[in-house]
Every structure is written in C-alpha cells, then in structure tokens.
Amino acid sequence: MKILAKSIAATFVACISSFTFGQTTYSTSESCNCTVDTSGLASYLGTLTLSEDTPLSFEVESSSSTFAVLHGYIDGSTPTVVNTFISSYPEVTTLVFMQMPGSDDDESNLIASMALKEAGFKYYLPSVNQYPDDAFIASGAVDMFLSGNVRVIEEDAEVGVHSWSDGVNDATDYPEGHPYHQPYIDYYVSVGFSTEDAEAFYYFTINAAPAAGIHNMTEAEIEQYKLRTCIYSDAPSYSVYFNDGSLSATLAGASYQWVDCDDAMAPIDEETSQTFTPPSNGSYAVEVSEEGCEGVSDCVTITDLGTVQPTSINLKLFPNPVAQTLIIQGSEIETDLLKIFDGSGKETSSLVNVSQTNQNEIQMDISKLPKGIYTLSLGQFKKQFIVE
C-alpha cells in the first residue's frame, strides 16, 4: 500500500471566440471544457476548518453549489463517502483538492477514484499558498487526482510523490517489470494514460523518494508526466500552419488549452469570427487579447512567421532534458527563424546564446534560462524541451 505521508507545504477566457482562416472558422478561446467552476471558493474556504488528519470529506456549501472542497486521507470508508456525495450533489462539476496527504487503503482508493472518474468531475488543485489554508496532494491522493478527465493544476501547486512500501520492502526493492508494479501501471492506463506514459510516471514516483520521504514535483515534472490536462498561460498565443489548403495548429501556450484534444480547432459559428486569408503557405502566430478589445478584429493579432523551410521538419533536438547546451541538427538550418518561448508563451530568445558551428548544426547556451519547459520554434518545426 502507499504509506500515508504529509507533503510539507479564474481561468482566463479570451474575448474572441473564433477566427476564420481561409474558408473555415476555428475556435481561439479555451477548448475541451477546461474552465473550473469555483466562483465563491475563497469566501467559502473562510468558513471551513480543514484537516489532513481525518478521513476524506467532501465539503459543499449548498445543494446548488458547483464545487466541492476535499480534505483528509483516503481510507476504507472513502468509497461510501464518494457514492453518497455523488448522489447528494448533482450540481457539482468541480472538485477542489485542498489538503489530501495520501491513502492507507489502495483498493478503496481505486474504487473511489474510478467512481469519481465515471461521474465526470473536473479536478482543481490551487497553488499551495493561494488561500489561507494550504493546498496539497500527496501519495495516493495524487493517484486519485489523476482520475480526473479535466485536471487543472495552478503554478506553484504542491504535488508530493514517493515509493510505496508493503511494510517490509519499498517498491524499488523489486526490479522493473516485477508483477508488484503492474497494478499501479494498470490503474494509470485505466484513467487515460498511454502504457508508455503510465510506466514513465510510475517509475518516476517510486524513484523520486523512499516510502518514508516525499518529493514535491517541479513545474517541469508536472508537465513532463502529464498531470495537467490544461496548460496555463498568461499570454495566450499559438501558431497556425497553412500548406496547400490544409490547416493545422499547435496550441502550446494557449490559455488553459487541452493538451490532447483533437477537436480544439473544430469549426464553429461564423458570427463572431475574423477572416484572414493567408497570402501563401507558411506559419502564422495567432495572439488573442485578454481585455481592452471591443470587436473581434481588435482581439486577435496574426503575424507571419516566415515561410516554412522544408528542411526544418527533420531537425533533431538533444539532449532533452538539458542543463547547459542544447544542440539542433538538420540540413541548412535558418537561424533567423529560431525562437524560444517559456511555458507562459513569452519569448525568451534573448536569454539564449546561439552559435552555428556549420550549416547543419546549432549549439545553444541555455544556462540563463530558469528551470522549466520551453518551446523551440524554427519554421514549422516546434518541439518542447526541459531545462533542468
């Protein structure tokens, strides 16, 4: 079982709903229902006495509330508590995870988590000091959080992981591939992770800290292991690619955008759209204003990023994660097109020293970049890298 451990420790909506690129209208505001319904949360928390030392509770202000506040540890009573909550509060859409140190009953955790997943709640973890009461999830509570179809984690949130113990041995005492590991991996797959992602996250957790310890995940690790389904950005922007009448887009950096959403650019109503006809094949940045715009044309800015270089598609980027020097290899690389963006969509190219050893290789000194996840853009080539 997972050892119980204490972890020490408004979503933006764009004013434009769509734009037309060529002959098709596409959504530019948030997609896949990533908005958490937490209106009134701060004032309600002021009325509660939260505890991590009692069995898991769901606090709901009234029968019409759209959110519930969770606190306490998961135990044998949790499946019953969960089922009672689901049937009693049909208006709740969002679960706010506040003080949840873990689980002392893995089987009950699995049953309760799958019941919550089936009910389709959105999960929300505030940053640790966002409210007077700390917010955190650790150990088995992290497993429960992963059952959310929509998982919003604020920046500077506290997510604690560690190895499990059977009372005699830690998980790391058993070799990779041992049958004792498989139930955890199977659970991550059952809540929507690919087998590859499930194994990567599981083995990361058991090696991150011993059963008696705790590792608070970094922002880069939270993104790397896909704990969020929605990416947060204060400066929403993304790029659209137009090639021989075919349109595609990368949504990295868009405000609370769904990470794996095939319908994020689905055609919608044309009444609130802006029409933009691309002059040629190429890459275009689409930036959406948060406020201060009266009409659709004032809300969106489209910038030509230059024509796509065919050789950019086959570029190699390594090492990743990287600490000092990032190497890009390809054929006839155009350094003028190279840009670096941080996790909020802000360009940080000025902090990177680029040297081109030859026309097929670029070396980048990224030592001035803070730790985190970044996006490298070079023509149509876009790839994330992690600075550790």
| CB neighbour burial string for 124-153, b if at least 16 within 10 angstroms, e if fewer | bbbebebbebbbbbbbbbbbbbbbbbbbbb
Q: How confident is the model at residue 310 (pLDDT cuts 50, 70, 90)?
A: very low
- What domain range includes position 340? 309-388
Give the amino acid at 357.
Answer: T
- pLDDT attached to residue 301: 58
- Mark whether 48 and 195 lie in a shared domain: yes
Residue 384 sits in the same domain as residue 268: no
Note the pLDDT tens digit of each residue in 210-251.
999 999 999 878 888 889 886 544 344 445 555 554 444 444
Domain co-membership, 96 together with 49: yes
pLDDT in tens, 265-309: 333 333 333 445 555 555 555 554 444 444 444 545 556 555 434
Whether 93 and 152 share a structural domain = yes
Number of domains forming the structure of the chain = 3
- Do 385 and 242 belong together in one domain? no
Is there a contact between 319 and 38 (Cβ–Cβ < 8 Å)?
no
Say what the pTM is.
Answer: 0.59
Tokens coding 94: 């969002």
CA distance 224 to 187: 19
> Is 178 found in the same domain as 53?
yes
Residues 266 and 289 placed together within one structural domain of the fold: yes
The reply to whether 255 and 386 lie within a common domain is no
The Cα 363–Cα 136 span in angstroms is: 39
Residue 246 lies in a domain: yes
Q: Does residue 8 lie within any of the structural domains?
A: no
Do both 158 and 207 map to the same domain?
yes
At 62-75, the pLDDT tens digits run 999 999 999 999 99
Q: Are residues 141 and 95 in the same domain?
A: yes
Same domain, 260 and 338: no
Say whether both 138 and 254 belong to one domain: no
Residue-level pLDDT at 199: 95
